[in-house]
Amino acid sequence: MNTEYLILAALVLPLLGAIGIALAHRAPNLREGVTLATAVALFVGVCQLLDPVLAGARPELVLLEPLPGLPIAFRVEPLGMLFALIASGLWIVNSVYSIGYMRGNKEKHQTRFYVCFALSIAAALAIAFAGNLLTLFLFYEVLTLITYPLVTHAGTEKAKQGGRTYLAILMGTSVLFLLPAVIYTWYVAGTTDFRPGGILPAGMETGTVMVLLALFMFGIGKAALMPFHRWLPAAMVAPTPVSALLHAVAVVKAGVFSVVKVIVYVFGLDTLAGATDWLIGIAGFTIIAASVVALHADNLKRRLAYSTVSQLSYVILAAAILAPLSVAGAALHIVAHAFGKITLFFAAGAIYTAAHKTEVSQLDGIGRRMPWTMGAFAIGALSLIGIPPLVGFVSKWYMMSGALATDRFFVAAVILASTLLNAAYFLPILHRAFFRPLSAEAAAHPHGEAPLPMVIAIVFTAAATTFAFLFTDDFLRLAQALVAGGAP
Amino acid sequence: MSIAAQLPALQVALPLLAAPLAVLLRHGGLAFAVVTAAAWAAFAVAIGLWLQVGQLEAGAAISYHIGSWAPPWGIEYRVDRLASFVLLLVSGMAAVVLPYSRASILREIPRDLHYLYYAMFALCLTGLLGITITGDAFNIFVFLEISSLSTYVLIALGRDRRALTAAFQYLIMGSIGATFIVVGIGFLYLMTGTLNLADMAVRLREVESHRPVLVALAFLTVGISLKLALFPLHQWLPNAYTYAPSAVTAFLAATATKVAVYVLIRFYYSVFGDSLVFHDLPLPQIMLWLSLMAMFGASFVAIFQNNLKRLFAYSSVGQIGYITLGLSFASVNGLTASVVHLLNHGVAKAAIFLLIGGIVARMATAANRDAVPMLRGVPADAVSPEPTFDRLAGLSKRMPLTCFGIVIAGLSLIGVPGTAGFVTKWYLIIAAMEQGQWWLVGVILLSSLLAVAYVWRFVEVAYFRAAPEGSEKNEAPLAMLIPAWLLVIATLWFGLDTSFTVGTALDAAQELVKNGR
Amino acid sequence: MSTLAGYFSYAVTIFLLVAGLFIIIARGNLIKKMVGLGIFQTSVYLLYIAPGKLVGGTAPIIAPGFHVYSNPLPHVLILTAIVVGVATLALGLALAVRIHEAYGSIEEDEILEQDNADAGSKERGG
């Protein structure tokens, strides 16, 4: 009974926060206070759910019934718990950072920014707790629409173009592929509830399963599987806190989360046996191809964006192996990538705010002027490469173990190759920042660290990336609970 | 004699009485009060009827004998689930649009004509309710003409002189359609000797395969299709919607074509029976292709319109395609989609046109550069420019609530989950899957992307293009904003809780299919 | 012979129907269009009335010595239809008058020309 209210609170709190933010639009300090208070309250609320879920409870909440037999229902299970923890936790950090960024860059329409941000967190939590495909799909679309004003925040022609691509790909794939997949699932299974072991009727033909899987995988455009990845670089026109939201907190995480959720709870690992080879191939290709593009990108945010495309396919790849170990690794990698990538984006935003630099080639010697920022950047980069003891190592370890346990050497090769590529596009940045002398042009424009709230946020996420290894216990238990429930 | 038993008669009589009363009063304000009261009463009656029908067992209907003459000789009013659903839609729309009218026509119609506007509105409402409730074939024609003639007048009240030509064009097309319908009814009468629809259905069973029955079916289909603006018989619609007063456009878009669809369903299922219509003739195929052409052709044309009202008028033609597409499946799910889309599209489109009315009203007070010379002493400030895209730049700054409302209702046209339009799409796709027409699933989904294109055209102009210098926040009057937003919220509500819409539509569809066999 | 005579009223009906429709489509003059519409609607009157008449039948008043009556119902129906037709005609003519006041013409092509000219000048101006 109690937990039911907690779910409701988790969904309603950001909404109330959004209203509060809108009401306080005349007093920026109060407005930011509301944002932070809401974020903290939300995180505390979500944490309350952790223990019951770990203890095996699956709290449920049913709201309305848009279609007969198909309610808007929420059900907290381990994977959703994981996603909710990341989204609500990182919202706090991101809010602190946003305050520094938005004020430091004197952005316009700040109230709209915070309102949309709060609403997209609400949508992300609704996706995390979704109890059936319809609810997932509903809030998946809501998230697309509510982040659209954030992506086009600048209001320029370029922002409009980016917004068009963003909307066209995400809406297009979800309407053309995801929606028929959802309806077909309902049509053959008579339900869209997420259930351990899957809901598809036994004895479906492998061909049909493959087509349905393809519809789901390409339909979830937020997971940025090639060739539907272009929205992510296009959305780079947005302010950095929004990029962090897209890449780490909510949007792409919602994508890969949905992928894992669909694979585990709609198909079930057993049903899929033998139907995922093509997916492994495409995900592997995406990992390598996106890394190669990142290698050649000079714009820092663009390089990070392609790095995200590549990292997302890790999750898809790991889930597609269907081995319990690798699925747990996929879940963990959602966490690892979130912490690592948010650090990197925060750093990129800090560099832009303090030094107004956007290109990798301009970063010579910047590490000496912004030691905290670039130090954090180094930690984030090393984590994504997968250096122990950073959190990125743990997830890669699990994925690798899963691949080897099922004798998928192609996968192991892809992971290894991409690790090298990761190193190849991240390490030169560190080399420039710390070991190259300042360029003459940069020397003429002295600057220091970014505003304090930003630095605090960066240091915090970097620290989390470092020490998460010590606290992965809870995440690990959640990930294992997911697999335990998924493959009975 | 309790009131409850007289509800079917009251449903039509109330607005019918209000019309001459409004004329006799010769005063805009009083006429407004009378007609609005009648519309609200009619809405209350419709709710009462809906409750009564809900208590009947499936397949039964309320039968009311006018003047106590027993059918098939007397005229019978017959309310089943489908009829009560449409009655609710029509009277509900009137109840919302009328209060809006008062503020809206102040800026669009000369003051000395206001009382006539209300009288015509009441007549139009009478006709639409009458068509829906009557169980007599010739009575359908009479009510159809009542609603049509008053509609022509309402359209001609538009401030632009092109409203006159639009009304004339509609008069010609509409009269041809109505005459086709009478010819069809005439053939049915010749074959069966009765005008009562239920009686006709029974007697038709014996003469089903005779050629005059097929001729009747053909005449009725063409005539009604003209009225419901089935592609390619839709030419009257864009002009009529564009130049009619805003409140009229909203009411017509929500009800007139919808009632025509209702008549089509009524004749197909309750008179001819679906075995004749859908199995012996290639009608489903024809209707399928015409619907697809509407969904793509009209939506495509909509994308390139420069006048916002015209854009959404073409969008209406496209959306009617969804309704007829549902019909062409000839299955319970397809029919459910059609019936539920009557309401879902009606509500969303009415909301959009009401909000556009707000924009027009603000333009009327803001700029009179384009004053179109009109006769009969139109005051200068009543003449206002068209809502073309170049005048809507940066509108979100001036009218944030109006723009936001249009976007939400637009999302329903696209079929985004959480809005009413999604529910329709869901049932259409299920219906296509049932019949194994997989290509159609893709086609339906593709067509919704066209809706994204035209809705987003508005979004980009209103939100991204720079507003002209010195423009200030100038939201539409509350009297217009509140009714419009009521419908916007209804659009969202019917996307989240469909126990009323889908519940009634599904029952109605099952009833029709069962009785139609 | 008898079949031909039997179909005579139908032939006339169809002729009127097609002729009326043709006038509506082919003529650009609004008044002539209304005339066409009138003829078009008249065909329906015939369609209803003709079968109601029985050879040798009388008005349907029960009286000794008469056993064959004409059907009165079509007459009643058509009376209604005629009223509707008159109303349509009146409204159409009223609109034609208003159009003449606004455009100075009742020729369809001239009206269209004026509308196009309006749209053109608006584009040039704005």
Q: What per-residue confidence (pLDDT) applies to A73?
A: 86
- High-pLDDT (> 90) share of chain C, %: 37
Structural domain of C117: 2-56+65-125
Instruction: Assess whether A281 and A220 both reside in one domain.
Output: no
Q: What is the mean pLDDT of residues B401-415?
A: 92
Question: CA A395, CA A337: separation in Å to the nearest integer?
Answer: 9
Q: Which two tokens stand for residue B472?
A: 């200030």
Q: Do C91 and B172 touch (CB under 8 A)?
A: no
Instruction: Assess whether A257 and A324 both reside in one domain.
Output: no
B194 has a pLDDT exceeding 70: yes
Identify the residue among A108, A132, A138, A175 best suited for mutation to test binding to B, counting B beta carbons within 10 A and taking the highest. Answer: A175
Q: What is the pTM of this model?
A: 0.89
One-letter amino acid at B89 equals L
Question: CA B291, CA B322: separation in Å to the nearest integer?
Answer: 7
Query: Which of C30, C41, C73 has the CB atom closest to B179's CB atom?
Result: C41
Helix, coil or strand: residue A365: coil
Tokens 């704005």 found at:
C126
Instruction: Assess whether A413 and A317 both reside in one domain.
Output: yes
Give the pLDDT confidence of B121-136 residue by residue, as tens digits: 999 999 999 999 998 9
CB-CB neighbors (< 8 A) of A152 in chain B: 464
Query: Are chains B and A in touch, 3+ Cβ pairs below 8 Å?
Result: yes
Q: Considering just the CA atoms, what is the radius of gyration of chain C in Å?
A: 22
Q: What is the mean pLDDT of residues B191-211?
A: 84
Torsion of CA B368, B369, B371, B372, to 10 degrees: -150
Instruction: Assess whether A203 and A161 both reside in one domain.
Output: yes
Q: Chain C: give the shortest CA distance to residue B163, in Å.
A: 9
Question: CA A332, CA A354: separation in Å to the nearest integer?
Answer: 33
Question: CA A198, CA A270: separation in Å to the nearest integer?
Answer: 9
Tokens 């809507």 found at:
B392
Question: CA B151, CA B171: separation in Å to the nearest integer?
Answer: 9
B303 in Cβ contact with B397 (< 8 Å): no
Helix, coil or strand: residue B346: helix
Q: Chain C within 8 Å of B142 (Cβ-Cβ)?
A: yes
* Alpha helices by DSSP H, B107-209: 114-133, 137-156, 162-192, 197-207
A271 lies in some domain: no
Structural domain of A133: 1-265
* DSSP string of A126-187, one letter each residue: HHHHB-BHHHHHHHHHHHHHHHHHHHTTT-SHHHHHHHHHHHHHHHHHIIIIIHHHHHHHHH
Question: CA C30, CA C96: separation in Å to the nearest integer?
Answer: 7
Give the pLDDT confidence of B204-243 residue by residue, as tens digits: 888 767 788 888 899 999 999 999 988 888 888 998 999 8
Helix, coil or strand: residue A189: helix
* CA-angle at A413, arms to A412 and A414, nearest 5°: 90
Q: Do B175 and C115 touch (CB under 8 A)?
A: no
Question: CA A135, CA A70: separation in Å to the nearest integer?
Answer: 9
CB-CB neighbors (< 8 A) of B464 in chain A: 152, 155, 159-160
Instruction: Assess whether A83 and A164 both reside in one domain.
Output: yes
Q: What is the mean pLDDT of residues C15-19?
A: 92
Question: CA B396, CA A89: separation in Å to the nearest integer?
Answer: 34
Query: ipTM score here?
Result: 0.91
B385 has a pLDDT exceeding 70: no
Q: What is the mean pLDDT of residues B17-32?
A: 91
A402 lies in some domain: yes
Average pLDDT score, chain B: 87
Question: CA B164, CA C65: separation in Å to the nearest integer?
Answer: 58
Q: What per-residue confidence (pLDDT) applies to B175?
A: 93
Q: What per-residue confidence (pLDDT) applies to B1?
A: 55
Shortest CA distance to B491 belongs to which of B248, B259, B254, B240?
B254
Residue of chain A nearest B416, judged by CA positions: A141
Instruction: Assess whether A99 and A138 both reside in one domain.
Output: yes
Q: What per-residue confidence (pLDDT) applies to B331?
A: 87
Instruction: Assess whether A143 and A111 both reside in one domain.
Output: yes
Q: Do B165 and C99 touch (CB under 8 A)?
A: yes
Helix, coil or strand: residue B398: helix
Q: What angle in degrees, to the nearest 10, is found between the helix axes of A78-104 and A452-486?
A: 170
pLDDT band at B379 (very low <50, low <70, confident <90, very high): very low
Give the pLDDT confidence of B451-504 residue by residue, as tens digits: 988 998 898 888 888 777 777 788 888 888 999 999 999 999 988 888 888 888
CA distance readout (Å), B477 to B139, B347, B401, B488: 41, 20, 11, 16
- Total domain count, chain A: 2
The low-confidence residues of chain A, meaning pLDDT below 70, are: 1, 469-474, 483-488
Query: Which of B145, B175, B186 has the CB atom closest to C47's CB atom?
Result: B186
B383 has a pLDDT exceeding 60: no
Q: Considering just the CA atoms, what is the radius of gyration of chain A in Å?
A: 21
Q: Do A68 and B502 touch (CB under 8 A)?
A: yes
Here the CATH number for the domain that contains residue C34 is 1.10.287.3510
Instruction: Assess whether A243 and A286 both reside in one domain.
Output: no
A327 in Cβ contact with A260 (< 8 Å): yes
Question: CA B253, CA A120: separation in Å to the nearest integer?
Answer: 34
In this complex, the chains that touch C, judged by 3 or more CB pairs closer than 8 A, are B
End-of-domain residue from the set A224, A243, A265: A265
Count of residues in chain A: 488
Identify the residue among C18, C40, C42, C84 best suited for mutation to test binding to B, counting B beta carbons within 10 A and taking the highest. Answer: C84
Question: CA B493, CA A66: separation in Å to the nearest integer?
Answer: 9
CB-CB neighbors (< 8 A) of B425 in chain A: 179
Q: What per-residue confidence (pLDDT) applies to A269?
A: 79
User: How many residue contacts between B and C have a Cβ separation below 8 Å?
Assistant: 74
Cis ω for the linkage preceding A233 (within 30 of 0) = no
Q: What is the mean pLDDT of residues B318-342?
A: 91
Q: How many CB atoms lie within 10 A of CB A255?
A: 24
Shortest CA distance to B287 belongs to which of B343, B348, B342, B217?
B217
Count of residues in chain C: 126
Q: What per-residue confidence (pLDDT) applies to B365?
A: 64
Helix (H) or strand (E) segment spanning residue A74: strand A73-75
Q: Which two tokens stand for residue B233?
A: 């018989």
CA distance readout (Å), B113 to B103, B124, B157, B168, B438: 14, 16, 9, 19, 54
Q: What is the mean pLDDT of residues B310-338?
A: 91
φ and ψ at residue C73, rounded to 5 degrees: -60, -45
**Dihedral of alpha carbons B320, A185, A266, A271, sign:** negative
Question: CA B428, CA B326: separation in Å to the nearest integer?
Answer: 6
Q: What per-residue confidence (pLDDT) applies to B501?
A: 86
Q: What per-residue confidence (pLDDT) applies to C122?
A: 56
φ and ψ at residue A85, rounded to 5 degrees: -60, -45
Q: Do B417 and A64 touch (CB under 8 A)?
A: no
Q: Chain C within 8 Å of B169 (Cβ-Cβ)?
A: no
- High-pLDDT (> 90) share of chain B, %: 45
Question: CA C55, CA C52: separation in Å to the nearest integer?
Answer: 10
Instruction: Assess whether A228 and A303 both reside in one domain.
Output: no
Instruction: Assess whether A386 and A261 both reside in one domain.
Output: no
A317 lies in some domain: yes
Q: Do C111 and B183 touch (CB under 8 A)?
A: no
- Total domain count, chain C: 1
Q: Do B156 and C95 touch (CB under 8 A)?
A: yes
CB-CB neighbors (< 8 A) of C90 in chain B: none
One-letter amino acid at B144 equals L
